[in-house]
Amino acid sequence: MGTVDRLLKATEDIWASYHEKPFVQGLKYGTLDQKKFRSYIIQDYWYLMDYTKVFAIGVAKSKSVEVMKLFAKYIQAILDGEVNVHNGYMADFGITQEELDHTPIQQDNRSYTSYMLSVAYRGGEAEILTAIFSCAYSYEVIARKIVEECPSAPEHPMYGRWVRGYITPRYTGNNVILKDMLERLTKDYTEEQLRYLEEIFTACSRYEASFWDMADRFGTEGGAQV
């Protein structure tokens, strides 16, 4: 069993739960409250800012030019790809930089990125890639499942853009590159090292689940509202 298959096997129950999250179900069927989505876009924007820093630490930790180029490539891909999708939604919702700057980052969000940054500062190339891959690949898996269960989802006037963004050849191809590099970097890892990667991947997967729960609480009584 390869490293990635091992990581996915260890977290299969957590990953299965993503598809049942009310927020994800709302994206799939187009029934999501737009106020919740607006709040999610703001929080995910700030998540992506710290997520990009994890890649930047990867550049500094790289032991080869090849890996350095990989991490550097993804910094540009995030800033020109995912962030542009968010910028489009922010324009639709009238979200300004001033509003972004004055919106508190939710605790679930801050905890998640703080953990990833901690892993990056403490670990090496493979540990950083493991933390990154949990988020990057889960969005593809979620989007593919949405399309499988609701083929019209990519055409939804509000949420279709989000769904399409995570199943494009560019996005999915980048995930293949991440997977292949993680396999290469860990081919000689010991059982102890692999167990530590499982710990990282499991923690990040749980944070992903919490992020979807956080997003669904937006706008509810007693929940976060931004």
Q: What is the pLDDT of residues 118-160, one digit of tens each?
A: 999 999 999 999 999 999 999 999 999 999 999 999 999 999 9
**Does residue 10 carry a pLDDT above 80?**
yes
- Evaluate whether residue 224 is within a structural domain: no
- CA distances to 150, 160, 184, 194 from 145, in Å: 8, 14, 28, 28
Residue 169: per-residue pLDDT? 94
Residue 46's domain spans which residues? 3-216
Per-residue pLDDT band for 222 (boundaries 50, 70, 90) equals very low
Of 82, 125, 127, 208, the catalytic one is 208
Tally of domains within the chain:
1
- Evaluate whether residue 221 is within a structural domain: no
- Evaluate whether residue 48 is within a structural domain: yes
**Does residue 84 carry a pLDDT above 60?**
no
Per-residue pLDDT band for 85 (boundaries 50, 70, 90) equals low
Residue 78: per-residue pLDDT? 80
- Evaluate whether residue 226 is within a structural domain: no
HSE-CB at 71 with a 13 A cutoff on CA atoms is 27
- CA distances to 103, 139, 182, 219 from 135, in Å: 23, 7, 14, 24
- CA distances to 42, 50, 51, 126 from 98, in Å: 12, 19, 21, 37
- The answer to whether residue 150 is catalytic is no
**Does residue 224 carry a pLDDT above 60?**
no
Between 2 and 74, the higher pLDDT residue:
2
- Evaluate whether residue 144 is within a structural domain: yes
- Evaluate whether residue 40 is within a structural domain: yes
**Does residue 57 carry a pLDDT above 70?**
yes
pLDDT in tens, 171-216: 999 999 999 999 999 999 999 999 999 999 999 999 999 999 999 9
Residue 83: per-residue pLDDT? 59
Between 98 and 79, the higher pLDDT residue:
98
CATH at 132: 1.20.910.10
- Evaluate whether residue 44 is within a structural domain: yes
Per-residue pLDDT band for 80 (boundaries 50, 70, 90) equals confident
* Average pLDDT of every residue of the chain: 92
- The answer to whether residue 135 is catalytic is yes
- Evaluate whether residue 33 is within a structural domain: yes
Per-residue pLDDT band for 223 (boundaries 50, 70, 90) equals very low
Contact 48, 82 (CB under 8 A): yes
Of 135, 149, 199, 204, the catalytic one is 135
> Smallest Cα–Cα separation from 127: which of 200, 205, 50?
200
- CA distances to 55, 106, 159 from 41, in Å: 21, 12, 12
HSE-CB at 220 with a 13 A cutoff on CA atoms is 10
**Cα–Cα distance, 39 to 151 (Å, whole number):** 26
Per-residue pLDDT band for 74 (boundaries 50, 70, 90) equals confident
Helix or strand holding residue 74 (H, E): helix 65-77
pTM for this structure? 0.92
Residue 82: per-residue pLDDT? 58
**Does residue 11 carry a pLDDT above 80?**
yes
